[in-house]
């Protein structure tokens, strides 16, 4: 990549400044959170997601309507298109972090994007590395980071084999890369990390162990009581996982993605991604109070005089969202 300016694991204030300068529709709302717009796509595009068909992973993937095959040539075409687009930008944003809190299981992830809001979002959602742990992202490290090339501002070529629209989210497990084109919705990156962990975790700690002795990735929230009793809440998006797990009498482990193994449960994420529709402090105080400086509000409507957010206004989308780091929840268990 050849951008003149590269912002690496930047502080929230700098990313606020970059978003306000360069990304139309960005604003700081009354609580201090950064409100942003994700463009035409205000939700994920599951029908445009593809997994590269590779000999090394072919027998481990359940192929069908969910996991749709993509040939390597098409993936490389999309990758080249993404890199070419990113190289036209004056500035890029790079975020290094981990998928997973448990050191024995976690995966290093690097995000390269052209939008400051995407960088802040992923700094919230990945597990933040310590200064010493940044060595794990250097060239020659023991494990190559999984790289997400987010060129979502630029469309894919519909004529590329395997494409069904101008949007493409594709992953190659052998190359340890994901390419995003044609969608600026930040949730694609978050779910991209979950896709990676869904593939890798059932093979840990060793592929040849019985299933009960290997790790199980979960689309679920989790919290823990005073006696280390863990509750897991399973459910699809919008069914109440985030709300139920934010219990003032129990410590929060996480609101959406976890791994369960013989030693316990750990969170894949470093933050939460909560729905905002109808949000009120009276009913969800923990989430409401987390919407402050450093949080990212996606596609919400706010009063342009007072900058107060109207969480009941769904004129843009019903899928209004907020991303914030785990430590914004007062009773979060960290490390998670």
The residue annotated as part of the active site, out of 242, 243, 320, 323, is 242
Asked about 110 being catalytic, the answer comes back as: no
The residue annotated as part of the active site, out of 22, 219, 247, 333, is 219
The residue annotated as part of the active site, out of 191, 250, 258, 261, is 191
Spatial neighbors of 263 by CB under 8 A, at least 6 apart, are: 102
Cα angle at 258 between 137 and 285, to 5 degrees? 105
Asked about 166 being catalytic, the answer comes back as: no
The residue annotated as part of the active site, out of 81, 118, 258, 321, is 321
Asked about 22 being catalytic, the answer comes back as: no
Asked about 229 being catalytic, the answer comes back as: no
Asked about 207 being catalytic, the answer comes back as: no
Quote the tokens at residue 134: 């940044």
The residue annotated as part of the active site, out of 237, 289, 314, 317, is 237
- CB-based burial of residue 191 (10 Å sphere; 0-12 exposed, 13-18 middle, 19+ buried)? buried
Asked about 305 being catalytic, the answer comes back as: no
Asked about 143 being catalytic, the answer comes back as: no
Quote the tokens at residue 253: 């482990």
Asked about 191 being catalytic, the answer comes back as: yes
The residue annotated as part of the active site, out of 50, 79, 241, 261, is 241
- CB-based burial of residue 315 (10 Å sphere; 0-12 exposed, 13-18 middle, 19+ buried)? exposed
The residue annotated as part of the active site, out of 48, 251, 255, 256, is 256
Q: Which contacts (CB < 8 Å, 24+ apart) does range 135-144 have?
A: 136/108, 137/96, 137/108, 137/110, 141/108, 143/107, 143/108, 144/108, 144/176
Tell me the catalytic residues.
Answer: 44, 191, 219, 237, 241-242, 256, 321
């Amino acid at each position: 990549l050849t951008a003149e300016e590269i912002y690496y694991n930047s502080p929230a204030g700098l990313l606020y400044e970059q978003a306000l300068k360069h990304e139309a529709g960005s604003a700081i709302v009354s609580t201090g959170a950064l409100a942003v717009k994700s463009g035409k796509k205000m939700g994920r595009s599951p029908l445009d997601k593809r997994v590269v068909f590779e000999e090394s992973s072919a027998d481990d993937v359940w192929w069908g309507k969910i996991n749709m095959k993509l040939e390597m040539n098409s993936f490389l075409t999309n990758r080249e298109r993404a890199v070419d687009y990113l190289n036209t930008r004056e500035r890029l944003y790079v975020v290094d972090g981990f998928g997973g809190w448990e050191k024995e299981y976690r995966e290093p992830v690097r995000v390269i994007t052209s939008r400051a809001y995407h960088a802040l979002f992923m700094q919230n959602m990945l597990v933040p590395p310590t200064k010493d742990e940044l060595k794990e992202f250097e060239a020659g490290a023991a494990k190559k980071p999984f790289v997400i090339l987010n060129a979502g501002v630029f469309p894919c070529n519909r004529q590329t084999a395997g494409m069904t629209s101008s949007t493409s989210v594709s992953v190659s497990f052998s190359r340890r890369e994901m390419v995003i084109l044609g969608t600026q919705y930040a949730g694609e990156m978050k779910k991209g990390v979950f896709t990676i962990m869904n593939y890798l975790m059932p093979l840990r700690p060793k592929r040849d162990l019985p299933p009960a002795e290997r790790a199980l990735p979960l689309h679920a929230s989790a919290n823990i009581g005073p006696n280390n009793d863990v509750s897991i809440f399973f459910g699809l998006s919008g069914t109440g996982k985030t709300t139920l797990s934010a219990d003032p009498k129990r410590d929060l482990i996480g609101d959406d993605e976890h791994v369960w193994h013989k030693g316990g449960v750990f969170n894949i994420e470093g933050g939460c991604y909560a729905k905002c529709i109808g949000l009120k402090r009276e009913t969800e105080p923990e989430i409401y109070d987390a919407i402050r400086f450093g949080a990212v509000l996606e596609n919400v409507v706010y009063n342009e005089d007072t900058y107060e957010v109207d969480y009941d206004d769904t004129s843009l989308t019903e899928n209004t969202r907020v991303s914030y780091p785990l430590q914004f929840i007062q009773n979060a268990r960290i490390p998670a």
